[in-house]
Structure formats: structure tokens, C-alpha cells
Chain A
């Protein structure tokens, strides 16, 4: 039980009044900014990073991780309340979380998100404390081939996000993949589909696509139905999660934690895929999969837990090997360097108070998040009780300023406007936007790994079934497709049957 001693050391460092204060400030500010549409954890941390430079290394890192958790939770709040995914991982929270909110269970949805995240955070923190050095190695099992297989698996899971037709889900994933390819090609540097616009070389802004397809389309289709919205106003009396909901959320949270903890170790989108994977699994395991997309509790609880566990374990490669697995971790490394601490295997030995203090503060940060946010839930719930005609102009304007601030450029607003029209079209012919967004995020990664794998193998396609990990993932994807397709075919037959009759 050596790790308990280490944790003791960590809590000693983290529990000083000074550190607790900065942890609290971090969580508070992170939540406040993360709630604004368009500002995800990465953006929030990048903004606040200079504030931490003047602090002690431990205090600074503790504050940054507080911001990280806060921003992530703030993002989920926006996703649940106004159907606005500020970043890739909260796309899933929109699906059932927002539906819950519209069914009058906004309070329960927010509470489940907070408690599920806290549970996942607690488990993941213990995992980090106990197994960091061993787990770090997992990242090195993944080369181009394995990543490609993982992307295929992730995209297969993505089609499950749609509760409509499977084949339209596939078409939407492909559409997303194509949109994701806009910009400079990694291997040759060629600008693809930029139509001469230099600002497109880095691709279409994700936030613009997400806002157009989700938030703005939602507004268009809801304006006429605002009376209908009022009917589902939550009563303030049963804000809290009831027993039945808690029971439904429990197992998905556990499974989500497991999925997130493992996938979070992988650099390059592991944590992100975990929320999608969790959603897909919960939908498969559900007794009533038809509830998904209409406010299924498992569809919110699982992914929220997975997302948070993944966010947590993504610290492992950074802390133990100095490898950033995502943008947030790269910023963390930058912050360490400012304090003249070189991240790597020796941080544990040379600066144990930093290493274990940070781990302890992860748990403290998560706990504070719950303490801070549970009392705020009634406040957030009132937010959606506001008349829709007041709410939607606010969403529009705040989103516009948010879009502008991404690069101090108007272009994302124009793109969001374009994608609003496209989103309306999708809505009209009943194609769901969530699979498209996942394709959009994974498209460039998938191409990158696919091409790199073939470059390494000199064009030998056999490379994809020479790696055991890749075989397993590709087989799971194939089985998943079959499992989805078979009932679909049966159903469409029965539908055709009833129509004929």
C-alpha cells in the first residue's frame, strides 16, 4: 500500500489553505467561463494560464486542473440546458441530457452529470495513484495501425448515436469525414477544398459546425413550438434525482468509468472517443434502446462518467512520461516548464510534492465541483424556465461573440450561418447531426493514421491484420455493424409490411 503513503504526501501538499483556495478559484472560474458557448476546457485554460505563472508550481498546477474540471463541467451544463456542444466530448451530453431537460428533468440531468463525473473522477484518481507507471505504457501499444482500427471502431459506434436509420447515420459520418478533410494535408502540405481562402487551411472551425448544426438549428425548429416547451417546465420541487433515476444511472456510470479510464491513456482522441463508446455500449445493453435520444438516463450518465474518467487518466502519460495526450496536457507541460520542472519519469522522484499533490488535487477539484454545482442547479434550471423568446436571442448573441473570439475573425459566424441552413435541411429529411460531428472530428485523424500505416508498410494492406490489437478492434466494429444491421433489416421489412397492409 505504498501508494497510500504517496497519496498522504499529496493530500498534505494539496490541503493547505492556500492551495484549496486556488483550487476553488480555478473550479469556479473554469465553470463560469466553460458555460459560455464556444469556450471549452482548452480555450479556458489557455486564457487563464498566465494567471498561474506567478504561483508556486504545485499551486499553479492545482489551479489549472481546477479550471480544467470546471470548464468541462460548465460545457456539459450548456450542452444539457440549451443543446449546445461547446466541444467534442459534450456532443454526447446533448443527445439525451438535453432531452431530459426538455422532459422536465433538467435538475436530475445536471445532478447525474455532476455525481457521475465525481464518481468517475474518484476511481480514476485512485487508478492514477496506484498504477501510473504501468498504465503509461499502454500509450506505446498504439501505433498508426491500432489508431486506425480504433477510429473505425469509434465511427461505427458513432452511427449508433443516431436513433433513426442506420444507413443515414453512415452517410452522415461520411459527410462529416469529408468536411473534416478541409485544410492543409499533413503529408504534402497541399491545401484541400479551401477554395482559395487562406483561413481555411486549418480546417473548418469545429465550434462553428457544432453551433450551426445543433444550437441554431434547434432554435429554428423550436421557435414555433415555444408554447410546447413551457409545458415541460420542471417543477422546482423534484429537482433532485429520484430513486429510480439513481438506479438507472448507477451501472452506466461504473461502465463509463471503466471505458474512460482505459481510453484516456491513449494520446490523440482517446478520451474523446470514450464518451461515444460509452453511449454506444449503453444503447446496446439497454432494455429499452428506443428511449435513447429521448432522454435515456443511461445515455447521459455513462458518457459523462467516461468523459471525466478519460480526462483524468490522460494525465498519466503526461505526468509519467512527459507526453501530452491532448491539447490541455500540452499546456500543462508548458506550465511545468515555466516552473523549471521537466516533465518525465523523474518528476515523481525529483518533485514528489508536485506529482502527488497534483493527483490529490484532482480528487479535491472534483469534490469541489460537486459542492459548488449542486447548490447551483436550481439556478441553472430556472434558466431554461425563462420564456424561449427571451432565451434564444441571448443564445444567438452570446454564441456570435464566442464564435468571433475564437480567432478574432468573422469567418466562424458565417460558417455557423451556413451550417444552420444545412442543419435545417438535415432536420427536414430526418438525418441526425451527431454522427456527422464525430466524423468531422475523427476524419482527419483517420486519414492520417491510415496513410501513415500504409507508408510504413510500403503499401502492404496486410499490416492491418498483423496487429492483434487491430484485429480485435476491427472485429468488434464488424460485429457491431452486423448487430445494428440485422434488426434494422428486420424492422424495415416489418415497416414495409405494415405499410402494404
Chain B
């Protein structure tokens, strides 16, 4: 049974919550605790961190002992590409402008799909650029540059 442990949703969840709770509790120690009457900035996060760690351990124990649901397998390529498309948009939008950021995002994001073709990506980019210009820049006046240079 032990070798199947890493399929268990509760085991992963338990580990995540335990670590996050522990991290919070640890980091909150750098702030003043104060007293119950006049709590410092560190007290509340410390309490929450300890509670989350405890609950995380409970979930972990539950997962190890009872099993429960199995994890869903994450589609890695889309996860990576969608996140990358966001980062690339952010990197390009002020440096080069929407004319580069939008096509770059569309290409990377669309690459994650089975329906990717060059023609579709180009058409989508052009459409989106027009939409962004009309709605965000022309109509709403968002300070986002079409061409930054």
C-alpha cells in the first residue's frame, strides 16, 4: 500500500498545508507578539499558522491511513504554457507594447491547445489587438501602450 501513497490527494494536500502553515508561523515570529489585550502584528498570523499546520497534519494522517480520493493528473504542458504566456505578456507590454505582448501571449497560449495553427494564432492576435485598442485604449483610456518604443 505504501508505494501508492503519492497518488493520494490528501497526502499532497496535507503536505502543502502543513508546509504553508509552518512557514507562516515561522515568518510571523519576526513580528512583535504583544499581549492578549494589545496584540502585536505577529500574534494573529502565528495562531493561524499553527492552526493550519495542525489541520495539514490531520489531513496528511487521514490520507496516509484511510486513503480517500486520488489526485487528478495535471496537464503539465498547458499549466506551463498558460503561466508562461502571462509572464511574457507582463514582460513585453511596457517594454515593447501591446503589439508584441498580445501576439506573444496568443501564440504561447494557443500552443497548449490541440487546435494550434499559425493562421489561427495570427488571426486571433490581430482581432485582439484591435479589440484592446478600441476598448481599453480608445474608449477606456487605460495607460497601456500600443507601441512603447
Contacts and interface: CB of A to CB of B under 8 A. Distances in A.
Nearest to A456: B37
A191 B114 CA distance: 46
Contacts of B62: 167
A220 B105 contact: no
A422 B72 CA distance: 14
Interface in A152-182: 164-165, 167-168, 170-171, 174-175, 177-178, 181
Interface string A178-210: 100100010110101100000000000000000
Contacts of A164: 69
B79 A424 contact: yes
Contacts of A424: 74, 79
A431 B20 contact: no
A393 B105 contact: yes
Given A47-B140, A192-B31, A425-B74, 8 more contacts: A221-B75, A224-B75, A388-B113, A408-B143, A420-B82, A430-B9, A455-B37, A457-B37
Contacts of B74: 220-221, 424-425, 427-428
A193 B120 CA distance: 43
5 contacts: A190-B32, A224-B114, A390-B124, A398-B131, A459-B37
A496 B10 CA distance: 14
B13 interface: yes
A43 to B, nearest CB: 11
A221 B112 CA distance: 11
Interface string B10-49: 1011001100110010011001100111111100110011
A390 B35 CA distance: 56
B86 to A, nearest CB: 4
B4 interface: no
B128 A397 contact: yes
Contact of B44 (A36, A181, A400, A416): A181
Contacts of A447: 44
A495 interface: yes
A171 B16 CA distance: 10
A220 B79 contact: yes
A361 B31 CA distance: 50
B94 interface: yes
A27 interface: no
Interface in A94-150: none
A420 B86 contact: yes
Contact of B109 (A178, A392, A404, A458): A392
B36 A220 contact: no
Instruction: List the 10 closest A-B pairs by CB distance, nearest first.
Output: A459-B37, A185-B41, A389-B115, A417-B86, A413-B90, A429-B13, A459-B36, A429-B12, A190-B41, A174-B52
Nearest to A424: B79
A394 B36 contact: no
A464 B85 CA distance: 49
B48 A177 contact: yes
B87 interface: yes
Contact of A397 (B105, B112, B115, B120): B105
Contacts of A428: 9, 12, 71-74
Nearest to B75: A224
B32 A188 contact: yes
B72 A401 contact: no
Interface in A462-500: 492, 495-496, 499
Contacts of A459: 35-38
B78 A178 contact: no
B71 A430 contact: yes
Interface in A410-465: 410, 413-414, 416-417, 420-421, 424-425, 427-431, 447, 450-451, 454-455, 457-459, 461
A429 B10 contact: yes
